[in-house]
C-alpha cells in the first residue's frame, strides 16, 4: 500500500524513467529489449576489438523509435540501412531463431548453444518453456 502511494506521487516523467532505466544487468531471459546506440562505424570497430562499449539507452518490453534520416539499424543480429520512418519494436516470446543459422557441422557458438539447449531439455534439466525463451 505504501509503495502504491509513492508511485502515485511520481510524475509521468519519473515513472517513465523508472520503467526504461538501464539499472538492471542485461539478460537474454529477463523479457526486456536492450536499446543501445552506436556513434558510427569507428565506434562499432572499437566495440568489436574491446576498446569501447555501446551506449545503453534503455531496457523496455516495446519501443517506438523515430528515425529522421537514413541510418544503419540492426535488430536481432540483422543489419540494414533504413530510411526515415517510425519503427515499432516489440519483444516476442518465441524461440531464438538465429541460433540455428550455422551452415556447417560444428558451425560455431550458435550451433553449440543450440545443441546444449536440446541436450538440457532432453535430460529434463530445463523444460520446453525455458528452452524457447
Cell of 41: 562505424
- Residue 9 pLDDT > 60: yes
Dist CA 18 CA 4 (whole Å): 14
Q: Cβ distance 76 to 95 under 8 Å? A: no
Q: Bigger pLDDT: 105 or 33?
A: 33
What global pTM score does this model have? 0.49
Mind listing the pLDDT tens digit for each residue in 79-117?
A: 788 899 998 888 776 655 554 444 455 555 566 677 777
- Residue 12 pLDDT > 60: yes
Q: Bigger pLDDT: 56 or 93?
A: 56
Q: Label residue 59 exposed, middle or buried (CB < 10 Å: 0-12, 13-18, 19+).
A: buried
Amino acid at each position: 500500500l505504501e509503495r502504491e502511494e509513492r508511485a502515485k506521487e511520481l510524475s509521468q516523467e519519473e515513472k517513465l524513467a523508472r520503467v526504461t532505466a538501464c539499472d538492471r544487468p542485461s539478460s537474454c531471459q529477463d523479457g526486456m529489449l536492450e536499446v543501445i546506440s552506436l556513434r558510427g562505424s569507428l565506434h562499432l570497430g572499437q566495440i568489436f576489438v574491446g576498446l569501447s562499449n555501446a551506449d545503453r539507452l534503455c531496457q523496455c518490453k516495446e519501443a517506438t523509435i523515430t528515425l529522421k534520416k537514413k541510418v544503419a539499424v540492426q535488430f536481432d543480429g540483422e543489419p540494414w540501412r533504413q530510411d526515415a520512418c517510425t519503427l515499432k519494436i516489440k519483444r516476442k516470446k518465441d524461440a531464438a531463431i538465429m541460433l540455428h543459422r550455422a551452415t556447417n557441422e560444428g558451425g560455431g557458438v550458435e550451433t553449440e548453444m543450440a545443441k546444449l539447449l536440446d541436450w538440457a531439455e532432453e535430460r529434463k534439466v530445463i523444460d520446453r518453456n525455458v528452452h524457447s525463451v
